[in-house]
Amino acid sequence: MLESAKTLVKRLMISRLRRHDAARRVGLPGGFGGLPPELWGYEVDPCGHLCIQGLDVSGLASRFGTPLHIVSLPWLRKTHDDFLRPFVAGYPKTRLATSYKTNPVPAILKALHDMGTHAEVISDFELWLAGRLGLAGDRIIVNGPGKSREMLVRAIDMGVKVINIDGLGEIDIIAAEAERAGRAQRLGVRVVTSVGWSAQFGLSISSGEAYSAFERIRQNPWLVPTGVHLHIGTGLKGVSLYLRAIREVLEFGKALRDSLGIELEVYDLGGGFGVPTVRGKDAWDDRMLALGYPQREALPPDCPSPSDYAQSIADLFSALLPAGRTPELFLEPGRAITSSSQVLLLRVIAVKETGETRKLILDGGKNISMPLGWETHKIFPAQQLLEDFEVDSDLYGPLCHPGDIVARHLKLPRLNVGDVVAIMDAGAYFIPNQMNFSNPRPAIVVINGGDTRVVRQRESFEDLVCLDRIEP
């Protein structure tokens, strides 16, 4: 009886949430619940096929095979320019640093560097890759809570722009290696404010740890106190908390100036900016799925635009920095730049008709779409976009694992074996979280003005065992 009552209350609450969500979508342009393909630079042709730059998506799937990542280079340029433009307008010394961990595909990173971005790296591999891509050391920012000595040596030898320390233990190591190299190293400190991530990250402003770090850095002739680094979270869709953290950082900079005579040259405000077409899941989404309802999708109006952040940040800098002082302002917008430029194509390889819900088995699942476990992404059929979306469909991957769920209770056209679905916003944390769980990892194709180029070959079976030795 008690469980029945709880379920009834949940259903009533879910019904209320769904009505509220539906009401907010009324009037959003383009159909598809306010998330039309045009939001990603795609279009629907007269036959109901999903197309990008004049190319039929299902045709690309046939040509290159699935699973397949498609990257739109013009859309990548657009998201980069749309993000940077309002910041530069408000504060001309704004720089972007590409977050390597977000989408570590060399061709994509190189394209972003060609647009003028710096590199933001958090591992020795990423630092090595930035050098391999030909990036000068003074365009590399080194972050991360777990820097090995080897990584710090590499960073110093490369002459990176700044190493943002995450703990006091890094100071003596960097000082010793800088002396060995005969080159003073510029340091920043990752700080923890009253809002956002802390745990294993950074040094607290309020406890005095961050101040102590600058005292120690200032006393060593091989270290140059240069900046502060801030990162409060990921998928942020609110301006006020971000501004609160920035204010605390700027006030901390004033304290360093007044007490230690340190004039910071770099304010690195990190990233974490949300994407209008991706929605983070909450407990109610899980309850909805358990009771047979689809989880809620993103509402684009809920996500602040770059302009919303830019003007407020510029005003803060103007108000809290001394007249005539214009330090560099760095931002690390990983997902805000790359998320919407990349799509993951999966093909239906089996269908199970069980009751009112059709179970579609795809040729890729959690092995290559891990973020679907904590985010809701729009999923389109590659064809049949002009048909009614009335068939209750559960989408699963091919793995022999009960958790290999792509999406449940989606309303789709009646899809069959051979049909293709497109998971939008696959350009943030899909690639770094993928794994070859019983299957090779997918190819990546870049599209530019209708031209296509494979920038990552599909893994072969031989690739999966190339590092192994069969003989004991």
Percentage of residues in the chain with pLDDT exceeding 90?
87
Give the domain-ending residue among 275, 303, 338.
338
Answer for the pair 445, 67: CB distance below 8 angstroms, yes or no. Answer: no
Residue 6 domain-assigned?
no
Asked if 180 and 90 sit in the same domain, the reply is: yes
Average pLDDT over residues 161-173: 96
Residue 449 resides in a domain:
yes
Distances (CA, A) of 153 to 144, 157, 174, 179, 202: 15, 6, 8, 11, 21
Q: What is the DSSP letter of 198?
A: -
State whether 412 and 278 are in the same domain: no
Whether the bond into 67 is cis, omega within 30 of 0: yes
Looking at residue 240, what is its pLDDT?
A: 84
CATH of the domain at 85: 3.20.20.10
Residue 368 confidence (pLDDT) above 90: yes
Task: Assess whether 205 and 299 both reside in one domain.
Answer: yes
Residue 23 lies in a domain: no
Residue 233 in this model has a pLDDT that exceeds 80: no
* Position 197 confidence tier, pLDDT thresholds 50, 70, 90: low
Residue 22 domain flag: no
Residue at 130 is within a domain: yes
Domain membership flag for residue 2: no
Where b means 16+ CB within 10 Å and e means fewer, 55-80 reads: bbbbebbeebebbbbbbbbebbbebb
The stretch 37-57 carries a mean pLDDT of: 97
Write out pLDDT tens, residues 273-324. Answer: 899 999 999 999 999 999 999 999 999 999 999 999 999 999 999 999 988 8
Q: Per-residue b/e over 88-118, b at no fewer than 16 CB within 10 Å?
A: eebbeebbbbbbbbbbbbebbbbbbbeeebb
3-state secondary structure (DSSP) of residue 332? coil
Distance, first Cα to last Cα, the chain: 61
Distance CA 453, CA 108 (A): 12
163 with 245, same domain: the answer is: yes
- The domain in which residue 123 lies consists of 74-338
Q: Does the pLDDT at position 234 exceed 80?
A: no
Looking at 301, 319, 338, the residue that finishes a domain is 338
Mean pLDDT value across residues 382-400: 96
Please report the pLDDT score of residue 200 as a whole number: 75
Q: Are 411 and 451 in a shared domain?
A: yes
Contacts of 464 (CB under 8 A, 6+ apart): 436, 440
The Cα 82–Cα 243 span in angstroms is: 21
Q: Are residues 104 and 219 in the same domain?
A: yes
Going by pLDDT thresholds of 50, 70 and 90, the confidence category of residue 235 is confident
Average pLDDT, the chain: 94
Is residue 141 within 8 A of residue 330, CB to CB? The reply is: yes
The structural domain count of the chain equals 2
291 and 243 in a common domain: yes
Do 78 and 38 share a structural domain? Answer: no
Residue 6's pLDDT is 85
Predicted local confidence at residue 198, as pLDDT: 65
Q: Mean of the pLDDT values across residues 243-265?
A: 95
CATH number, domain with residue 426: 2.40.37.10
- Higher local confidence (pLDDT), 252 or 2: 252
Give the least confident one: 199-203, 361-365, 373-377, 461-465: 199-203
> Do both 345 and 369 map to the same domain?
yes
pLDDT of residue 110: 98
Q: 279, 308, 338: which is the final residue of a domain? A: 338
Q: Please write the tens of the pLDDT for every residue from 63-110.
A: 999 999 999 999 999 999 999 999 999 999 999 999 999 999 999 999
Task: Tell me, yes or no, whether 301 lies in a domain.
Answer: yes
In a domain? residue 14: no
Structure tokens at 372: 């679907």
Is pLDDT above 70 for 387? yes
DSSP 137: G
Note the pLDDT tens digit of each residue in 395-453: 999 999 999 999 999 999 999 999 999 999 999 999 999 999 999 999 999 999 989 99
Whole-number Cα distances in Å, 399 to 363, 393, 396: 9, 18, 8
Mean pLDDT of 248-266: 95
Q: Are residues 245 and 289 in the same domain?
A: yes
Same-domain pairing of 222 and 209: yes
pTM above 0.75, yes or no: yes
Residues 179 and 45 in one domain: no
Distance separating alpha carbons of residues 378 and 158, to the nearest angstrom? 41
User: What's the pLDDT at 63?
Assistant: 97
| pLDDT at res. 232 | 82
